[in-house]
């Protein structure tokens, strides 16, 4: 007893956390992507930067490949507190984020810094109520995706007619507009579905040659960025958990996250270039549309923009303002960041 009392007296007389260490705030992070995926690595760097700048006050534990909550249940999992932080695609809960669907509409150059900065800044400017049940940390997006096919190359609209293409969200509308048959399947199911011939193709950016081994089950890759789909992805935090964080920790999350949209865009670009290189090495056939065919594809997708505006008007949402702002940002950043090259 005497020894215990002496220890307490000494502890109380010493400054700092010598005898008592403030316990770190532990946060779970549900990530739908595999652990080895290049964007997962960017997210892990984000979490380490948060921990570092928070001075040990925060500990983030990541759960990959949808092991904590699936890709489609990720957002709701954050809302319900099944995970403190979540990362997945807005399009995986189709219809829940109507105003933000503007980000997924086609029309981007071939550069993920542009898509990511546009996605993040559209959210920051308009703060859609559809995301108010979580705290949004940042939004990012890959480059415009292309169409992978197993047996028949998609060189014309006629080539796509009737082909069953795995896709989700607004990419399904693009495929339908181009004459293909959309098949709604999560990204994680595409390899087996292609391997078994359940679908004829899938949509995705070049990084999936490595990240999802898609060149093992396809032969052709049609790339026309102007009509390529984009899928915006979120990093969000449970609202109750966010409100419980000390102001200085919130500040760290905000400052780091605001920079990570562009950082993640750069990581996407690195992955795309690696995928292009690997695709060429393994014999994937890259298809680029001639000008006369590109015009036909452009015309085919125009109704998507009209449908978006009509849908937003019906919901009383500022669709035209958001679309105009998105297009302004695309033009602005298109002058700052050149498109990636395939050669």
Q: What percent of the chain has pLDDT over 70?
A: 94
Average pLDDT over residues 264-284: 95
pLDDT of residue 320: 98
Average pLDDT over residues 154-170: 94
pLDDT band at residue 188 under the 50/70/90 scheme: confident
Do residues 340 and 117 lie in contact, with contact meaning Cβ atoms separated by under 8 Å?
no
pLDDT of residue 9: 46
Smallest CA-to-CA distance from 221 within 241, 197, 201, 238 is with 201
For residues 92 and 323, the model is more confident at: 323
pLDDT band at residue 12 under the 50/70/90 scheme: very low
Q: Quick: pLDDT tens for 218-273.
A: 999 999 999 998 999 999 999 999 999 999 999 999 999 999 999 999 999 999 99
pLDDT of residue 343: 65
pLDDT band at residue 8 under the 50/70/90 scheme: very low
Domain ranges in the chain with CATH number 3.40.190.170: 24-140+230-271, 146-228+273-319
Q: What percent of the chain has pLDDT over 90?
A: 86
Radius of gyration of the chain (CA): 23
CATH class of this structure's domain 24-140+230-271: alpha beta
Average pLDDT over residues 165-183: 93
Structure-token pair, residue 69: 């909550």
Helix axes 170-177, 291-314, angle to 10 degrees: 130
Average pLDDT over residues 301-306: 96
pLDDT of residue 292: 96
pLDDT of residue 14: 44
pLDDT at residue 17 greater than cutoff 80:
no
Chain mean pLDDT for the chain: 92
pLDDT at residue 11 greater than cutoff 80:
no
pLDDT of residue 21: 55
Distance (Å, rounded) from C-alpha 203 to C-alpha 207?
A: 12
Per-residue b/e over 240-272, b at no fewer than 16 CB within 10 Å?
A: ebbeebeeebeebbeebbeebbbbbbebbbbbb
pLDDT band at residue 16 under the 50/70/90 scheme: very low
User: By three-state DSSP, how is residue 42 classified?
Assistant: helix
pLDDT of residue 185: 87
DSSP 206: T
Q: Quick: pLDDT tens for 55-108.
A: 999 999 999 999 999 999 999 999 999 999 999 999 888 789 999 999 999 999
pLDDT of residue 7: 43
Do residues 83 and 298 lie in contact, with contact meaning Cβ atoms separated by under 8 Å?
no
pLDDT of residue 19: 41
CATH class of this structure's domain 146-228+273-319: alpha beta
pLDDT at residue 4 greater than cutoff 50:
no
pLDDT of residue 232: 94
The sign one gets for the Cα dihedral 133, 263, 142, 26 is negative
Residue 222's DSSP bridge partners are 147, 287
């Amino acid at each position: 007893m005497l020894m215990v009392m002496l220890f307490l007296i000494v502890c109380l007389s010493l400054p700092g956390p010598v005898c008592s260490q403030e316990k770190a705030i532990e946060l779970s992070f549900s990530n739908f992507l595999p652990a080895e995926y290049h964007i997962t690595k960017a997210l892990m760097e984000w979490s380490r930067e948060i921990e570092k700048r928070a001075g040990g006050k925060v500990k983030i534990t990541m759960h990959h490949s949808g092991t904590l909550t699936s890709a489609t249940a990720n957002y709701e999992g954050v809302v319900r507190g099944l995970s403190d932080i979540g990362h997945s695609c807005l399009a995986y809960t189709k219809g829940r984020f109507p105003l933000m669907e503007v980000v997924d509409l086609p029309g981007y150059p071939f550069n993920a810094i542009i898509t990511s900065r546009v996605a993040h800044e559209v959210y920051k400017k308009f703060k859609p109520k559809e995301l108010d049940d979580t705290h949004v940390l940042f939004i990012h997006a890959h480059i415009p995706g292309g169409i992978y096919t197993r047996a028949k190359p998609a060189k014309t609209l006629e080539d796509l007619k009737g082909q069953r293409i795995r896709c989700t969200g607004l990419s399904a509308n693009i495929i339908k507009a181009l004459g293909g048959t959309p098949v709604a399947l999560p990204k994680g199911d595409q390899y087996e579905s292609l391997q078994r011939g359940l679908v004829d193709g899938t949509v995705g950016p070049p990084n999936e040659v490595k990240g999802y081994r898609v060149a093992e089950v396809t032969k052709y890759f049609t790339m026309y960025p102007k009509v390529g789909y984009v899928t915006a992805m979120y990093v969000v935090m449970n609202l109750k958990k966010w409100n419980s964080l000390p102001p200085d920790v919130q500040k760290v999350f905000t400052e780091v996250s605001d920079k990570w949209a562009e950082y993640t865009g750069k990581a996407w670009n690195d992955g795309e270039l690696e995928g292009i290189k690997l695709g060429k090495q393994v014999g994937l056939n890259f298809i680029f549309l001639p000008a006369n065919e590109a015009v036909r594809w452009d015309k085919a997708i125009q109704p998507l923009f009209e449908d978006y505006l009509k849908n937003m008007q019906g919901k009383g949402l500022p669709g035209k303002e958001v679309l105009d702002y998105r297009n302004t940002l695309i033009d602005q950043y298109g002058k700052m960041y050149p498109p990636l090259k395939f050669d």
